[in-house]
Structure 1
Amino acid sequence: MALPSRARRSRAVAWAAGTGVTLAVALFVVVWTVVAALRAGDGSEPVARTVIGWALVAAGCGALHFRHRRPVAVAVVTLLACVAYYPVSEQDGPLMVTFAVALYTTAAEGRFAASVALAAGTLLAVGLGEVRQAPGNRQIDDTSLVMLAGWLISLVAVGRAQHTRGAYLHEAEQRALAAEREQEARARQSATEERLRIAREVHDVLGHSLSLINVQAGAVLHRLSKNPAPDVALPAAREALEAVRATSKDALRELRATLGVLRQADEAAPTAPASGLHRLGELVERARATGLEAGVRTEGTPRPLPPPLDLAAYRIVQESLTNVTRHARARSVLITLTWTDDELGLRVEDDGGGSPGESAPGSGIQGMAERARAFGGDLTARNTTDGFRVTARLPLTPARTTAPPTTPEGDQE
């Protein structure tokens, strides 16, 4: 994954930078100390004191390698190494640089109180030590003491500023990563919703058309199984094949229109009109071709609908007719459109043996209800004394007129 790899790279870069600083400081201290010893050149320092001095140099420089893990402890170690080194060694090497680096790191790692305490303690110890010296034996004058105070304060202040900047950059990075993850999640959700929406449309188109083709082919096969005379069988077969051809042609046209959303940007979009209630007559004719006595009744004054709402109404009627053809074993079906000022009412009722129910696989009732709810309406489907009835209510001024939200593919056939 990208995030762990990025974190590992950041840790590797930080480790390399920290090791580089440690080696650079160690090289600086060692070279300066060697040069100072060569310049002195009197060899009067006892060997034991020389060994102790170099051991303190090694301890102070080596401790810097752990300054990010234990910043306060390393600062204390380097300070103690300096406290022991300068009275013991006659070389006066720049070992104080290790404490300066450790003090800065302590502040930069967010240990502000500890860094202030260490700086104040160091300044106080140096000041007391100089006060107790005889007037002619002072090692640091007042000006140097003031400069040391400014140096220590600057180290703490710069370290504090670096910590604040690092915290700000870390927070900005986390916000950017969170925004990136949210954008990816939204993109995945949008892709899933679009995929399921296309699946719904393909289901409605193919489910309806293939059901009609199946019924028409089954009817003609049933007739032919009775071995009728050729003058009866051929017209029946021709009629059934003509209906199958018309149904499949319409299915292909609607399928191309539905899959048009998958076209590339440089491809021509389909020019065929979208499905809507203006094609209700074609649905009725296809239903009649299966042997149903299908009819349409209109109450009120029809009016143009927004394309998404028009398509939803068409799909509800289409899925209802599919269920009647496949499950109801009905002889007749009536589609009623009721137009009012505020809403469109749809009612599809048949005289069959009833529906397998909303929870039955392949009924499509859940999908129809989702379409109605997407536009602020509702849908009911129930058995009646004469058959089965689907009733839908679609407001003509819904809160939104975009494509309805999709449901999981398992809710449809």
Structure 2
Amino acid sequence: MLLNDDKNLKMLIDKQKLYKEALDNKISNVEAKQFVDALFENYFLDNDNINFLVSNGVNFFNLDNNEQCFCLSNIDFKDCCFKSLKKTKNSQYNTFLKAIINKEDYNNFLNYSNDLFLKHYRALGKEEVCHYNDCEKNAIENNLYKFDFTADKFFTTYRKNSFDNKFTFGENFFRVANPETFNYYGFCSEHYKILKSIVVKEDSSEDELTLVNFSSLLFKLFISRVHLNALKEEFCSIYNSLDGAIKPLYIYNLRKVSNKVSSLINFYSKYKKWMKKEENNFVIKRFILPKTNNFLIQDLVYPQVTPDDFKMVNSINNVFVEEKSALLGIFKNDKSTYVTFIYDKKDEKITSYFNQYWEIIENKEKNIEFFVTNCSLILCDNLLISSDYFNKFNEEEKTFYSALNKFRFENPSMGQEYLKMKFFAGFIKGNNFFK
């Protein structure tokens, strides 16, 4: 599907709304509907919550024939991927859920998944059209960061292959950043040159900041679409071969990726309207901070809970709730570090989150440094930490920062939940990469 085709994009978003309304209409009991709505405001769903939702038609672990296909084709599941399921069983199938049991299986899974991911990365790249306003030229391969990785060495936990997400609690997940990790297809050669020519500074225009941060959204969306396309092929190939105990978890993870892509498409649609001046629904918050060479980031921020009234912004395990995000960019020059947050001011949850933090930060200069650091470390994926700064950390700090960066959206243990709450403690002490 071409996302920059306004007609196709509107059709997909309208179809998503129809399926959501159909899900809501399944629940006829008023009290049950009220309880379901209340659960959808929970940060974390426990087993009892999920069982209640499943009993009321919110199906986490199966695909209904008449629901929109997880691949977002605008077609019902029964008429889409269900028809492509291989009926013959293959005992040699390899999935993440099966491979995490032992190291040898996981290495085999990585080889398989790398090939699968690269196949769909190339295929989608060939089809991608430039996302610059009103451009219809073919997109070329871009890079999210425009500095020389050979001259500047950074560490990151980000993995380009979305299947490569086995993170063991207590380990150091940081690796030397490879520039190819941040490649994607977003702009044609002409508009990519325009993007690379922009130097973010104090007097940068709104249009310049809008375009530079747009590349972060396009990167995330492109890689997520590759992941979903690869999962579609895998699903059709192996689903009927899966053990009965694995199938529910497999479907849950499938829904999770589908919801991520769907949420990003909704964000993209709103952002494009803003870029075209059709709507005025986004706000840019700028900060000029002390110069630092310690870290950089261009990414989407996924807030979790508002700091004042503790209301849920994003659920960590409800795959039926749209993911809420904002754009974060950190740019440096010889004198200062420029930080931008861009978010939808018409989104009540996102706006409440930022407004409550702006009140906390107001008149307390250091608080913004803690806030930017923690957003980059805990709520984003694309964090780059300079080698000079990273090598100052001891092993305990590297392990701690790894945990903060990766244990966000999985079913948390008490220890992992405690580490996430360090985000709030970070306002008082620690977690300041500007110093």
Q: TM-score, normalised by structure 1?
A: 0.23
How does the TM-score come out when normalised to structure 2?
0.22
Q: Which has the larger radius of gyration?
A: 1
Q: Which has the higher helix share?
A: 1
